[in-house]
Amino acid sequence: MNLYYNYLMQYIKSNISVFVTVAFLFLMIGNCSAQNYSSRIRICGNSIDEKSYTKSDIKSIFKGEKSRWKNGNSVILVLRFNEDEKSQHLAKAIYNKSTQGVKKFWLGLVFSGRSNAPLFADSNEEALLMLAKHKGSIGVFVDCKEEIPTEFKVSIIKSENEKSIK
C-alpha cells in the first residue's frame, strides 16, 4: 500500500505542471468566450421603461412574455434574422435554437394569439431604422458596427445569480 502511495505521489509531482497548464487553459477559454459574448451583443430600445435590465429580463422580453411596457407602449421586437452567422449566434444566445427554430417559435406564438410577431430585418442598418420608427421597440444586435444613438442604448446589469453582459 505504501509503495503504491509513493508511486502515485511521484507521478503527481512529475506531472503537476501539465495539470496546472491544462487547468489554466480551460479557465482562459471560459473567460474568452464570455468576453466574446458580451462584446458581440447590443440591446437597444426606443421609449421603453428602463435603460438597464438583467439578462433573464431580456430573454423573457425577447421570448414574447411581455406585451406592454410600464409607460403604456406596446412591446415591439426588432430582430435581425437571416441565415448568416450573426443571426445564428443571436438565435443560440437568446432562444437556444437555430434561426429556423426561432421562426417556428414565433409562428407558434403568433398563431396561438399569445403574442404579436416581431419585425424582422435583414441588416443592422435596417433594424436600427425600424427601431427609430417604432416607439416601444426593442432590438438585439450582433456585431453592430453602426453608430447607435445614446438614447437607444440599453445596458444589461448583473443579477445575483447570472453572469454580466453589456
Domains (range + CATH), the chain: 42-157 (3.40.190)
What does the pLDDT read at residue 99?
85
> In the structure grid, which three cell numbers stand for residue 44, read together?
437597444
The predicted structure's pLDDT at residue 4: 63
Best mean pLDDT range from 41-45, 56-60, 86-90, 109-113: 109-113
Cβ burial, residue 121 (10 Å; 0-12/13-18/19+): buried
pLDDT at position 68 is 84
Backbone angles phi, psi at 45, to 5 degrees: -145, 150
**Highest mean pLDDT pick, 5-9, 25-29, 106-110, 140-144:** 106-110
pLDDT in tens, 84-127: 888 888 888 888 888 888 889 988 988 988 888 889 888 888 88
Mean pLDDT of 60-82: 85
Task: Tell me how far apart the alpha carbons of residues 107 and 84 are, in angstroms, rounded to a whole number.
Answer: 20
**Model pTM above 0.95:** no
Question: Nearest CA to 117 among 146, 157, 155, 79?
Answer: 79
138: enclosing H helix or E strand: strand 137-142
| Residue 11 or 127, more confident | 127
